[in-house]
Amino acid sequence: MRDLARTIVEWVDGGHQVAVVRVVEVTGFGAVPAGEVLAVRADGERVGAVLRGTVDPALAGALPKVFAGETVEVTAPVGEHEAVAAGLACSGSARLLLHPAGPDRAAWEALGEGRPAALASALDGTGHLVLTEPGAAPGDEVQAAAAQLLSRGVTGRTVVGGTLVEAWAPRPVLVTVGGGALAEALANQCRLLGWEARDVSGVAEATAAVEAFGPSDVLVLLDHDPAMDAVLLAGLAGGRGFLGALGSRHTQAERRQRLHTAGCTDDDLYRIHGPVGLDLGARSPAEVAVSIVAEVIADRAGRHAAPLRTTAGPISAN
């Protein structure tokens, strides 16, 4: 996403007409990533992709209008053969929003610098709103939705009235403190998810790492040394990211008592996920790592993890 955003900025600054294609809503296709963007220049140069390029044939008639300054909404059905051939799970249909890139330059600039950004675009082309600070004070309903997405530190989208609100988060960093087999297993999970993994040691190094957290970052404290309480206190003070701590229920109780004595409130202590991980019956380091990243994903999506067959509503969080 960073390279794509930088390219959009370069094209806009170079005087090119640039159309941006974003997903409003999908039906079918199976699991697809959030935040996909395709940018197309008037001369045919393009960067990025939406739904693995399966919707490209539906864009041809709309792109000239966008190069002329219009915002256009397109519905693109994709058959089973085309979808599966492209690597999607099944057929589906997508609502797409096409709009000029120029008014959104601040969003692409922020993303190109590795900063989070939210972009709210009216489906009828009447305006755009860019937020680049997770703590931005919400004003109307659209601003509130954008600020909420940014504060969660995830890439996702929602539609508020007639406005597409989309947020892009930087690549998450999962910091482990303590090393060992579980830190290695978590690093393996991060590689699968496209996250960055770092293992640090010592109170000073761990505290510095947590103080630099953004909303999408994750702490997994593996070291039970009481001196490491300072790392959790730094995380609570920063108010950003996911704070997890390994340990038995006895270890967790002792830690909570120390933090309470240090001035933490019950609300503060609730923000620490300890014991970290979902109750999957995990035994091996690899299984425990799965349970931990699963809790992080559920927490970001605002979900209470449960088997999908026992729940109703959308399967995907975006």
Domain-located, residue 276: yes
Instruction: Identify whether residues 24 and 113 lie together within a single domain.
Output: yes
Instruction: Identify whether residues 77 and 162 lie together within a single domain.
Output: yes
**Residues 60-87: pLDDT tens digits?**
999 999 999 999 999 999 999 999 999 9
pLDDT at 135: 57
Where would I find the beta strands (DSSP E) of 29-171?
A: 37-41, 46-48, 72-78, 92-100, 117-122, 128-131, 156-160, 163-168
Instruction: Identify whether residues 178 and 140 lie together within a single domain.
Output: no
Q: Residues 252, 276: contact at Cβ < 8 Å?
A: no
Which pLDDT band holds residue 132 (cuts at 50, 70, 90)? confident
Q: Smallest Cα–Cα separation from 214: which of 105, 318, 110, 114?
A: 114
> CA separation (Å) from 90 to 33, 81, 221, 318?
15, 8, 40, 18
Instruction: Identify whether residues 125 and 229 lie together within a single domain.
Output: no
Q: Which of 95-109, 111-125, 145-159 has the lowest mean pLDDT?
A: 145-159
Domain-located, residue 49: yes
Place of tokens 């390994």: 246
Instruction: Identify whether residues 148 and 220 lie together within a single domain.
Output: no
Cα separation, 203 vs 171, whole angstroms: 24
Q: Residues 191, 171: contact at Cβ < 8 Å?
A: no
Domain-located, residue 254: yes
Residue 292 predicted with pLDDT over 60: yes
Residue 136 predicted with pLDDT over 70: no
Domain-located, residue 318: no
Instruction: Identify whether residues 28 and 158 lie together within a single domain.
Output: yes
Task: Write out the two tokens for 276.
Answer: 């970290």
Instruction: Identify whether residues 104 and 234 lie together within a single domain.
Output: no
Parent domain of 179: 173-301
Residue 148 predicted with pLDDT over 70: yes
pLDDT at 31: 85
Instruction: Identify whether residues 100 and 244 lie together within a single domain.
Output: no
**Residues 12-56: pLDDT tens digits?**
999 999 999 999 999 999 888 889 999 999 999 999 999 999 999
Q: Residues 287, 256: contact at Cβ < 8 Å?
A: no
Domain-located, residue 307: no
Strands 163-168 and 173-177: unpaired
Instruction: Identify whether residues 51 and 154 lie together within a single domain.
Output: yes
Q: Smallest Cα–Cα separation from 197: which of 219, 180, 225?
A: 219
Neighbouring-strand partners of residue 74: 96
Domain-located, residue 316: no
Query: Rounded mean pLDDT of the chain?
Result: 91
Instruction: Identify whether residues 69 and 157 lie together within a single domain.
Output: yes
Cα separation, 108 vs 123, whole angstroms: 19
Instruction: Identify whether residues 181 and 162 lie together within a single domain.
Output: no
**Phi and psi (nearest 5°) for 194?**
80, 20
Cα separation, 47 vs 165, whole angstroms: 21
Instruction: Identify whether residues 162 and 177 lie together within a single domain.
Output: no
Task: Write out the two tokens for 274.
Answer: 């300890």
Domain-located, residue 257: yes
Q: Residues 31, 316: contact at Cβ < 8 Å?
A: yes
pLDDT at 65: 96
**Phi and psi (nearest 5°) for 19?**
-105, 135
The total number of structural domains that make up the chain: 2
pLDDT at 138: 56
pLDDT at 214: 82
Please report, for the domain that includes residue 225, its CATH number.
3.40.50.720
pLDDT at 317: 58
Residue 156 predicted with pLDDT over 70: yes
Domain-located, residue 234: yes
